[in-house]
Structure 1
C-alpha cells in the first residue's frame, strides 16, 4: 500500500548490499558464526482449488542472501506451495509479494491466493474482533501453478542479519535486486529453471514487479518470465504527487471520484451502472477537464463556468466548494467532503468504506476506515496460520506493514534521461519489446483511491509500451484489495487462472 544503465545482476550480493564500512574477511567470517542456520518448516497438505484436488508441500522459512564469500547478510522469509509428485516441466511457478513499501505478503497470501484465507465482510463493514474465520481457499491458484509468497527484508519475519544495515535493501533498485536474487536461489533449490514463470504484486508490489523484471530480464544472466500480474498498479508516481502545479493527478483521479460518488448515491441523474458513469468521467477528464487545468490562469470565465457543473456532477461535491478549490479537488478533501452532510468520511484503499471522525469539521479524515476495518483480521490470521498450521514460529514479531525505514526512491537515469521523474512503466515496456512471450495482467478496483484505475491505464498507454494485445485489463467492484469482496475474489481468481492457463511454456 502506498504512502506514496542496465546492471549485471549477480547471484550473490552486489556492492549495493555491502556495509558502509566493510569488515575484514576474517571479521565477517567470525560474525557469520554467530548467525544460526536458516529456520525452515516443511509440512504436507491437500486441498481443492479451482475444483481440482491437489496434494502439496508447504515450505515456510528463511533463505539467506549472502555476500560473495558466502557470509549471510539477510534472511528472506517465503511460503512456497508446490504440488506433490513428479515435477511437470510445464507446470508454472508464480512469485508474489505485496507493497508498502514495507508490507508483508500476508494480504495476497491470506486474502486471495494462499490455500487458506481469512474471511471478512464483503459489504465494506469492519472485521470486528477475533476469532476470525480461517477457511480452505477454493480460490487459490494451486490447481494451475505452484505459489511462492515472499516477504522482503524488513517485512513479515524477514530481516537483515548480524551487522548488515537493513537500509542496504530499502530502495526501489536495492529491493528489486534482493527479490531477483531470491528467485534465482529458489529456482536453483527447486530445479525449476525451465518452468514457466510468473511474478506479481499488489500496490507498491507492482512497482516492485516492474523493477524485478528489469533485474531478471535486463541482465546477461537472463531469467525469462511468462507473465507479470499487476494488482492495483502504481507505476508512474507523478500521478500521486499532490503538489502545487502538478495537474496530472487531478485528471487521473477524477474517474475514481466519479465511481465513488456513484456508489454513495451522490450523482444527479445517476446512470444504471458504474461502468457507464466511469466511461463518461474518463472522456470528461482527458478532454474538457484536462484542457481547463492546463490553461491555468488563462482559463476564461466562460470555460470555467462550463467545466464547473460537470466537475460537480462527476465528483458529487458542490460547485461552490470546487470554485473555492480552483477546480482542483485533492484526494484528502474528497474523502472528507463527499459525505460531510452525513457526518461520514470515506476510505482511501476502498472508498466503499465509511468512518466517523472526531468531528465533522476537519479538512481531511482522521484515518482510513478501509484499512483499520481489515488489518486486525489479516495480522491475526497470518500469525495463527504460520505458527500453528505451517509449524513456522520464529522468535520474531511479524511486521504486517511499516517495517522498513527511509526508502531510496532513486532509480537513476531512465532510458532517455529524466532521472527526477519516477516512472517504472518503461521497464515493463522494454521487457515486452524484448520478450515476445511475455504478457501482462492488470487488475484494478473501481473504488481504489490509493492507486486509481485511470492512472494505471494512463501509465501503460504510453510510447514504448507495445499496443499488441499482450496487456489484458480487468476491473472489479471493490477497492485496492478487491479480493475482500468475495464476488471479486472469485472473478480475480478466475481471471488469473485463465491468464496462466493460456500463457504457453516459453518464448
Structure 2
C-alpha cells in the first residue's frame, strides 16, 4: 500500500507539473473566426485572428509569445492601399483591452453615455470602429494579456530583455517586422497608435522601425501622451498643470460665477494664456519672488483652480496633483479621479493630502475584466488556461535614456510622409491635456514639422473614448487623419524648396 501511495503522489505531482508547463507552452498559434458589424450605418464583414506570435532572441531562440488580435476587413481585394494599425496600451504593464474594447475595435464595452460601467456586463457592436477604413492589430507586450516569456527565463533575464523604454521598443519592432512579413502587409500604409505609456512606446518604435527595419510609417497617434522623455523643469512643470486643474474645477462647478458661466474651452483659452505668458515667468523666480507678488498670484490661481488662496500659499504656488484630487471637493466629502477627474471617490477620512484610491480605475477594472474574458472565449473562440493580465507585472521598468520624443521628431524629419496626431481629454489628471500640447511645441522648435502635427481635445478623461459623444468624434478624427496622411498617388516623399 505504501508503494502504491508513493506512486500515486509522484504521478499527481508529475501531472500538476505538466499542467503548469502546458499553460505557457504555445508560443505560435492562431484561431481564425469571421464576423460582421454595422459601422456608420453600413455592414462591415471581417476576419479576426487571435493567437500568439513568438519573440526570438539574437540566436533565433524563442523567448516569449505575444498575444495579438488582428482584424481584417474581408471584402477588400487589394490590401496595398488598405491602412494597417498597430495598437498599444501603456502602463507599462497594461493590456490592450482598453482601446480594443473601448475605442477602435468592432465591439465595445457596454457603458452609459458618460462612460460609466453598467450591469449586466457585456459587449455590443461598435458603430464608430475604424475597421471600415483600416485593419487593426491589438498587441499585448510581455506579461500583459496572455503574453508571457518562456518559463526558463529568470526574473532578472525577463526584466533586462523586456522591461525598459528601449528594450521594449527593440523587441516590439522585431515582432512587428515578423508580423508584417507573415501577413504580407509590406505594401500597406502603416500606423501606430498608443495610449498613455503606449505613447513613448510608439514614438520610439517610429524611429526604430525606420532605422533598423526599413519600415516607414504614414502616421503615429498619441492618445493621452506622457512627457515622451522631454524635461519640463521646476518652473514649467507645476505651471503647466493649471489648465487641467481649471478644467476639473469647472466641471465640478468650483469656479467663480463669471468663469463658470462660460463654456469650458473659452475658460481654458484664458487659463492657457495666463499660464504661458504670466505664470511661467513668475514661477521661474522661485524663492526670490516677492511676498506681494506671491500672494497676488495665489489669488489668481485660486480663481482659476477652485482651491483656497491659503492652501496655494502653503504649497508655494506649486499644488501637487494628489493634493488637488483630495482637496477640490473636500468640503463635500469626495475625492476626484486621477485618470478621469469627473469620477468621485469616498475616502475613510476627509483629512489627508491624497486620495485613498483612484475611483475611475476601479470602475473600469470591474467592467472591462469580465467583458474581455467573455469576448475572447465567446466571440474569438480563443481558449486558454492562462489568466488575462489586465495589469501585469512589468517592474522594475528601466526608464533611462528615454529620448522617445526626439525619436519621433527624427522619424518625422527623415520621412516626409509621416504625420502625428495627439488626442487628449481635458479631465485627465495623469497625462494632462496642456502638457500634450506642450509636447508638440517643444518636439520641433524649428516649426518645420508643425504642418504634419495636429492636436485634438475631448470633454472626458484619459480614456476619452469611453464617453459616447467622444468616441464618435475621436474615431472621426482618426478617419480624417488617415485621409490627411496618405499621399496622393505618385506623390514623392521629398521636401521642396520654396
Q: Which residue of 2 aligns with 1:449?
A: 429
User: Residue 157 of structure 1 is aligned with which of 146, 154, 175?
Assistant: 146
Contact 1:429–1:466 under 8 Å retained in 2: no
Contact 1:116/1:134, CA 8 A, preserved across alignment: yes
Q: Which residues in structure 2 correspond to 1:383-402 (within 5 Å)?
A: 383-402=373-392
CA shift, 1:247, in A, is 2.9
Give the corresponding residue for 1:482. Answer: 464
1:378-436 Cα offsets, whole Å, 9 max, x none, are 1111111011210112221100114312101122xxxxxxxxxx452111111111111
Partner in structure 2 of residue 277 of structure 1? 267
Q: What SS is found at the alignment partner of 1:501?
A: helix
Give how far 1:172 is off: 0.7
Q: Could you tell which deviates more after superposition, 283-292 or 491-500?
A: 283-292
* Change beyond 3 A, Cα 1:332–1:293: same
Cα offsets for 1:365-385 (capped at 9, x unmatched): 000111111111111111110
Tell whether 2:258 aligns with 1:265. Answer: no
Match 2:414 to one of 417, 425, 434: 434
Q: CA 1:376–1:396 in structure 2 vs 1: closer, same or farther (change >3 Å)?
A: same
For 1:200, the equivalent position in structure 2 comes to 193
Distance 2:100 2:301 in 1: 39
Relative to 1, partners in 2 of residues 1:147 and 1:236: Cα closer, same or farther, differing over 3 Å?
closer
The structure whose Rg is larger is: 2
Structure 2: 5+ residue runs without aligned partners?
1-20, 494-498
Q: CA–CA distance in 1 between the matches of 2:169 and 2:131?
A: 25
* 2:278 is aligned with 1:307: no
Partner deviation per Cα, 1:264-289 (whole Å, 9 max, x = no partner): 11110224211111111111112222
Matches within 5 A, 1:213-252: 213-219=206-212, 221-237=213-229, 246-252=234-240
Which residue in 1 is equivalent to 2:72?
A: 82
- 2: CA distance, partners of 1:89 / 1:51: 26
Residue 51 and residue 235 in structure 1: after superposition, are their counterparts in 2 closer, same or farther (change >3 A)? farther
5+ long unaligned stretches in structure 1: 1-30, 412-421
DSSP 3-state at the match of 1:322: helix
1:158-192 C-alpha deviation (Å, 9 max, x unpaired):
01013233211111111111211111111111111
Aligned to 2:243: 255
Residue aligning to 1:24:
none
SS in 2 for 1:498: helix
Choose which of 331, 348, 360 in structure 2 pairs with 1:370.
360
Q: Encode CA deviations 1:308-345: one digit per residue, 9 max, x unaligned.
A: 11110111000011111111100010001111111110
Match of 1:188 in 2: 181
Residue 109 of structure 1: aligned partner: 100
**2:12 corresponds to:** none
Change (3 A) 1:502 1:294: closer
Name the structure 2 match of 1:382. 372
Deviation, 1:45, is 1.0
Which is richer in helix? 2
Matches within 5 A, 1:5-154: 35-36=25-26, 38-85=28-75, 86-123=77-114, 125=116, 127=117, 130-154=119-143
For the Cα contact (< 8 Å) 2:199–2:228, is it kept in 1? no
| TM-score between the two structures when normalised by the length of structure 2 | 0.88
User: For residues 113 and 45 of structure 2, what CA distance do their matches in structure 1 show?
Assistant: 29
The equivalent residue for 2:276 is 286
SS of structure 1 residue aligned to 2:394: coil
Structure 1 distance, partners of 2:406, 2:446, is 7
Task: Tell me how far apart the structure 2 counterparts of residues 40 and 118 of structure 1 sit (CA, whole Å).
Answer: 24
Question: Is residue 320 of structure 1 aligned with residue 310 of structure 2?
Answer: yes
CA contact (8 A) 2:236 2:283 kept: no
Q: Secondary structure at the match of 1:395?
A: coil
Match of 1:492 in 2: 474
Whole-angstrom distance in 1 between the partners of 2:364 and 2:289 = 44
Distance 1:480 1:81 in 2: 25
- Report the secondary structure of 1:373's partner residue: helix
Shift in Å at residue 115 of structure 1? Answer: 0.8
Deviation at 1:93, TM superposition (A): 0.4
C-alpha distance in structure 1 between counterparts of 2:448 and 2:358, whole Å:
37
The answer to whether the 8 A contact 2:68-2:138 is kept is yes
Check whether the contact 1:42–1:58 (CA below 8 A) recurs between aligned residues: yes
